[in-house]
Structure 1
């Protein structure tokens, strides 16, 4: 132990940095793998419940795909203009300064990212355990223990190796595309056989209002959540430098990946409606399982198996990206400094990833999917909209920045207005206290910002310094290259 301590004392002076190399194919796999997870197997029922008819439901799914694509294009410009990892953080920092950037880190690290990870892992646990409990719901303790196990495994994989995490992502992306293709092809075959009766009078009994549309978008966009991940943390660079490949692979992965997901989602919903009426879909406990029972029997077990693969792949992609956000927050002094340290042996941001996994496990203990997803989108679209607004602001305040990709100004304006609608519409149509609690929690980050970041009270530093030292020795981590002198 003493020998290890003496060695670790010298480690901060090492020229250590972490590099993660993700090419175009891996980039597309990462964005597809991150987006296609639990959402498409959970959201169709909720989207239909809010609009009450097949026609508006398909329109909502298409509109969600368009909005996700336009938003991703905005983030493509931001990602190639400001080539820093850390999610919306560096964009908000450049556009509005440290306070909005800190509030994003505060909300994202403690609410948005862990709740998203928890939802996906709980979805994985439900589908993975369903075959073992035919005819009834799996026990809650089984679901939560299985979800916690998935979190531990995914956290370990991404802490051990960036390449291993990328390979795992590519594998699960391939497996999840199998079930997506099975559902799509099955639907097309049934349509070709003339099973179109569920599409007659597609707009009958439509329920349309500001509140129902906004809630339908919330549930549809949850299935697209992750469409913005690829733009900021996957530095598609070769081994030497940020070259032309970076600026080519980043937008290409988005331009190819997002529309691919959009087409798949619309076709999957068409397949669902080919097999089930609106009433049957709303009464189904698990839409994909019901589809499999009707179309693939006696091989219906394939559906829960591959849906489990799909969700675990999405969880891996979420962990891969969110860990970098924690890393950047620690590097900027907005979290414990040790969270910005890098593993000596693995060159991964292990402390950040472990912290992220621990917070997620806390979320799954009292929560369930419905509770976690209800107000997730409310917080998410506040910062999506603010970030895209920052793109518009920097067009006028930071004209000197080099922009390898420049989207027409009408696109970020449209995305910003859409974000405002998505944030305000639920409050106006169905005002509820949890929205207020969410807003107060976001603003509550200001207290911590002024106490620990702006004024930097000495007693806080005295407490954090020994914690950082012991964690550094325990995890064998050191500051990254940009943190050393």
Structure 2
């Protein structure tokens, strides 16, 4: 193989995965992933299903607590460093926007104006399905707490930085989200909250009417920042799955210049465009959340089984078994609750996706079936994107 490349450009067999993410990059990935447009635009899904301001605020706090427990228990195409710096920039912008809302609400409360918070727990729902749907909405807005786990191979000093980033990020976001919702309720009535197409904009019309245009700009920055992180993380998931033989081989390749999984990033962009077709965001949230909690529950079972079978194996990060057990109980509740009443259509869709995945798994993964001509497609994409197979973790010195 070496003789074929004498006098030519150096032959690139594999590309190593480099550790180029530090503490601040890690925090920005988690915080930036969690804080998107949801807290600005449509946090009303929690209030709709919880029924009262008091229970709504409790569920927001509980969702933050669940995020902390899970993240502790589990413990795009240009440049990784440029992407990380972009994450930090947009994380600062979105947090600054939320701090503006928090300060406005605190001013109202200090004046003795409590808005709809005075209604307390009036109208609280006791229906398990409604509570589960409220948690779905809350946890979707908290979505992103797990993202740093997916790029551990690129995180510098993960034994120190992973738990430190998780604790810092989840604590920060839980406090911010709780205070933002208190600010919303200090200004808006329940009816105004539920009827608003963008809660932050409605809030701004009352509090900063002369500068209300600032909120849409902040929402745009927040959405864009979250989008860049979503592409960064999701492409690494596809990359890891392909390297494990679960996805087509080309998705496990890295660009030889930027060290970025270009094929996986392009795939995620294409899938994202398809996901924008459905008009009902509530349906998308329910489908994604339902599948997520099923897989998380399975992960918790696997975690406990492996902990029992490999009890003598030393690991860098070790958590008490009570945590995965608590999370498993939460997962069971959130998966079962939607079926305690007439089942919504989207949950049947979710089950259909799982069945389809199992059907495709048998021939392509279990039986190692390869489509005719797939090697030619892989070579063509490799040349087009200038990518090569990534060095496996056990090959990195």
Task: State the TM-score bracket (shorter-chain normalisation).
Answer: over 0.9
- Distance in 2 between residues matched to 1:165 and 1:29, nearest whole Å: 11
Shift of 1:206: 2.0
Please report how far the alpha carbon of residue 10 of structure 1 lies from its aligned counterpart in structure 2 after TM superposition.
7.9
**2:109 maps to what in 1?**
191
2:339 is aligned with 1:339? no
Asked if 1:280 is matched to 2:198, the reply is no
Please give the residue correspondences for 1:124-203 in structure 2 after superposition, counting only pairs within 5 Å. Answer: 158-203=76-121
The alpha-carbon deviation at position 461 of structure 1 amounts to: 4.6
Moved more, 393-402 or 27-36: 393-402
Match of 2:147 among 217, 225, 229: 229
Q: Distance in 2 between matches of 1:367 and 1:402?
A: 48
For residues 462 and 167 of structure 1, what CA distance do their matches in structure 2 show? 42
The answer (yes or no) to whether the contact 1:293–1:300 under 8 Å persists in 2 is yes
Specify the alignment match of 2:310 in structure 1.
398
Aligned equivalent of 1:471, options 368, 381, 384: 381
Q: Is the 8 A contact 1:61 1:220 kept in 2?
A: yes
Higher mean alpha-carbon deviation, 264-273 vs 192-201, is at 192-201
- Is 1:208 aligned to residue 126 of structure 2? yes
The verdict on how the C-alpha distance between 1:10 and 1:472 changes in structure 2, with shifts beyond 3 A counting, is farther
1:68-98 CA-to-partner distances (Å, cap 9, x unmatched) read: 111111012xxxxxxxxxxxxxxxxxxxxxx
Q: Normalising by structure 1, what TM-score?
A: 0.77
Q: Secondary structure at the match of 2:124?
A: coil
* 1:77-476 paired onto structure 2 within 5 Å: 158-235=76-153, 237-238=155-156, 245-457=157-369, 460-476=370-386
2:388 aligned counterpart, secondary structure: strand
The 8 Å contact of residues 115 and 187 in structure 2, kept in 1 or not, is answered as: no
Q: How many residue pairs end up in the alignment?
A: 391
State the 1:443 CA deviation: 2.2
Which residue of structure 2 aligns with residue 147 of structure 1?
none
SS of the residue aligned with 1:200? helix
* Aligned residues of 1:210 and 1:429 also touching (Cα < 8 A): no
Give distance in 1, aligned partners of 2:222 and 2:116.
Answer: 28
In structure 2, runs of 5+ residues without a counterpart are none
1:480 matched to 2:390? The reply is yes
Cα RMSD (Å) of the superposition? 2.2
Contact kept? 2:150, 2:237, Cα under 8 Å: no
| 8 Å contact from structure 2 (residues 286, 346) kept in 1 | no
Compute the displacement of 1:269 (Å).
0.4
CA distance in 2: counterparts of 1:6 and 1:281, whole angstroms: 66
| Secondary structure of the corresponding residue to residue 342 of structure 1 | strand
> What is the TM-score normalised by the length of structure 2?
0.93
Matched position secondary structure for 1:391: helix
- How far 1:189 moved relative to its partner? 1.0
**What is the distance in 2 between the residues matched to 1:268 and 1:433?**
32
- Deviation (angstroms), 1:351: 0.7
**Do the aligned residues in 1 keep the contact of 2:42 with 2:198 (CA within 8 Å)?**
no
Bigger RCO of structures 1 and 2 (CA < 8 A, at least 6 apart): 1
Deviation of the 1:366 alpha carbon? 4.5
Give the conservation status (yes or no) of the 8 Å contact 2:14–2:388: no
Q: Deviations over 1:399-432 (max 9, x none)?
A: 2332232222221111110011001101222323
CA contact under 8 A between 1:53 and 1:202: conserved in structure 2?
yes
What is the rounded CA distance, in whole Å, between the counterparts of 2:231 and 2:148 in structure 1? 13
- Corresponding residue SS for 1:205: coil
Instruction: Measure, in 2, the Cα distance between the counterparts of 1:271 and 1:169.
Output: 26
Q: Secondary structure at the match of 2:372?
A: helix
Distance 1:472 1:267, change over 3 A: same
Contact 2:33/2:226, CA 8 A, preserved across alignment: yes
Give unpaired runs (5+ residues) of structure 1. Answer: 77-157, 239-244
